[in-house]
Structure 1
């Protein structure tokens, strides 16, 4: 399976002002945005780390999920949450022929940890040998930072501050997240059993 991010969070949606306040940088000066070229990549890195650790998409964007086989013929778990809408479901064969699956043949089951696509019949559409199933969906808590749950937002700012304070240092391989960040993220982590389920 492969997950592709099809859209990016625009710079304007990033919590740069909140991050600046968290870092206690000066405000009210003509050059308030002077450090933005440094803050924005750090924020993006912190968001990516939080999303990678929790499988939660903080700010809404579009994804394409590609599979070559089903583990369960009647349902498939999506790798991120929350899902706001499924835009398309397509089967592509080895020769490039495409079949769009009508929405009546499947439904989205919302779940905070493992949202699923479930067949409304006996099984999901068959994936031909050498073919793929492609789902396009929008995921995320919302388009603006205030939509993000408070603990995830705080963990992101704390991790960003950690990256900011250590931006000139060599990164230690395998180093865990800072303790405070890890505690805030702990309840959002997906418990993976039996090889990750479906």
Structure 2
């Protein structure tokens, strides 16, 4: 975890130096949930995702509707299953987004008392590249986790009579799982 923080800190310093003159020229597109702010990591992220196809300039067509995490921390009391308390997606560059996740876990006491409940809180941020429909690529440390989308909706045809029928399309959910060190992150994506 400390190594990831050092790498992110180095990317921030390098990104700030590279982006300072160009920051005034570009206007960042709006994200699904939050206005874009200049991200000092943008140049490093372009380099990281350069193997992906050309930018698609399409908006996000999914929302994160749920999730949880099995986190391993320094303390056995705070390690375990955390529920997802919140998520935010922010655009940092064309087709590159930052996903900020907040996870919480209730502290289990051995005795019953009147002390207010306490929750352990973990915050995680992940950058991802999205091409507008076919795949999602997460940056995890120095590696990548690619999630391919086979099907986003289910089409069903209902025959009412010999002359009439209806076509119904249902948007699907997709479960996404990836590892971050000794932790597992589980997300539920809902296509819109």
- Taking structure 1 as the reference length, the TM-score comes to 0.25
Answer 1 or 2: which has greater helix percent. 1
Relative contact order: is structure 1 or structure 2 higher (C-alpha 8 Å, sep ≥ 6)? 1
- Taking structure 2 as the reference length, the TM-score comes to 0.26
